[in-house]
Amino acid sequence: MTNENNEDMLTPSQILDKYPELKKKFGWTAKDIGLLLKNKLLQGHYNHSLRKSMITEDSLKSLIRFANRQIENQLVDIT
């Protein structure tokens, strides 16, 4: 599904199907991803007719890039 800006929209379950490493490495569930949307860390909307959260894939990628940078910044180099 795409929105009016022609961005790919995915449900939390579709996100986990497409990016299973989010579940493996971050321990995220579909409910967690929905909460990220509700707390405005992801862009998208709740589709009342489908009764599903719809999230832009670009906002997910931006959040993952941010999370990866934060992880990299916490590395300790003891050489």
Which is more confidently placed, 7 or 23?
Answer: 23
Percent of the chain with pLDDT over 90: 77
DSSP 41: S
In a domain, 78, yes or no: no
Mean predicted confidence (pLDDT) in 28-52 = 95
Q: Read off the tokens for 4.
A: 């009016």
Mean predicted confidence (pLDDT) in 12-25 = 96
Q: Are 19 and 55 in contact (CB under 8 A)?
A: no
Domain that holds residue 39: 9-72
What are residue 74's phi and psi, to 5 degrees? -95, 0
In a domain, 20, yes or no: yes
In a domain, 3, yes or no: no
For residue 6, pLDDT over 50 is answered with no
Mean predicted confidence (pLDDT) in 34-40 = 96
32: how many CB neighbours lie within 10 A of its CB?
Answer: 14
Q: Are 59 and 44 in contact (CB under 8 A)?
A: yes
Instruction: Round the average pLDDT of the chain to a whole number and report it.
Output: 91
In a domain, 15, yes or no: yes
Domain count, the chain: 1
CA distance 61 to 47: 21
